[in-house]
Structure 1
Amino acid sequence: MSDLSQSLSASVSGMKAQATRLRLTSENIANTDTPGYRRKTAAFERVMNAGQTTGQVKMGDVKLSQTALERVYDPTHPLADDTGHYDGSNVDLMIEIADAREAQRSYEANLRMFDQTRQMSSSLRDLLRR
């Protein structure tokens, strides 16, 4: 595989992984007020080919955060126990917003790398035609 195609593959895999990360972050933000909701996370994993790293990444398994759920006091809530508390979510909105920004910027960086590689490939083809 040529260096240009490896570069394209790496940037595409990065964009896919960041898009998945952004989707998980969006789900977490949407469920901030959902009782009993646990934050979803996933880590990046290297893609290996015949024991060699390819420069590509993929998202690992989605895991639920084991951080304690927030105890919310609202005796009128249908899920409230005898003390008037129920389990809220363990989503921290500030962390999710920071993760969303980081995923967006990483996606944009991979997109720029893809565009630059595509332009270099096009320029190389033009040079070879002469």
Structure 2
Amino acid sequence: MGDFTSTLSVSASGLKAQSMRLRHVSENIANVDTPGYHRKVVSFEELAAQKDGGATGVQLGPVELDQKELARIYDPGSPLADENGYYDGSNVDLVVEVADARQAQRSYEANLRMFDQTRQMSSALMELLRR
């Protein structure tokens, strides 16, 4: 049963990490038109190994701001515009964010399927042991 527990733990950590990743992607999408907004970029880290060498899982690493140059927007009527009529937009690319969201969603679904399969296997094993 320990293997089932560790597999469920790994799946749960993947679910949590992907849901947090999707949260940051949604924040990026929500701020696509926010002047001066830098896109948030996340990475994953392996959780510390268990003493028995069992499965560990993943967690979200530190959130970093994308240092890509901000878009320069020409709008001389904007209160944010400089003397030349430009202001800094955001560096969020909607195509990239939608692709990241789709990847996070599919990874979340894969972890959910793994969790469900492990649960079903555990239930089947318990049923066999009862006989």
TM category (shorter chain) comes to over 0.9
Q: CA deviation at 1:71?
A: 0.4
- Corresponding position of 2:42: 42
Distance 1:10 1:100 in 2: 21
- Corresponding position of 2:99: 98
Q: What stretches of structure 1 move > 6 A for 4+ residues in a row?
A: none
Distance 2:122 2:115 in 1: 11
**Structure 2: stretches of 5+ with no match in the other structure:** none
- The structure in which a higher percent of residues are strand is 1
SS at match of 2:48: strand
What's the TM-score once normalised by structure 2's chain length? 0.95
Aligned pair in 2 of structure 1 residues 89, 53: CA closer, same or farther (>3 Å)?
farther
Q: CA deviation at 1:94?
A: 0.2
Deviations 1:78-128 (A, max 9, x none): 100000000000000000000000000000000000000000000111111
- Corresponding position of 1:88: 89
Q: What percent identity do the matched residue pairs reach?
A: 62
Aligned residues: 130
- Corresponding position of 2:117: 116
Deviations 1:27-47 (A, max 9, x none): 000000000000001100001
**Does the CA-based 8 Å contact 2:50-2:56 persist in structure 1?**
no
Deviations 1:17-60 (A, max 9, x none): 00000000000000000000000011000011357573400001
**Structure 1: stretches of 5+ with no match in the other structure:** none
SS at match of 2:68: coil
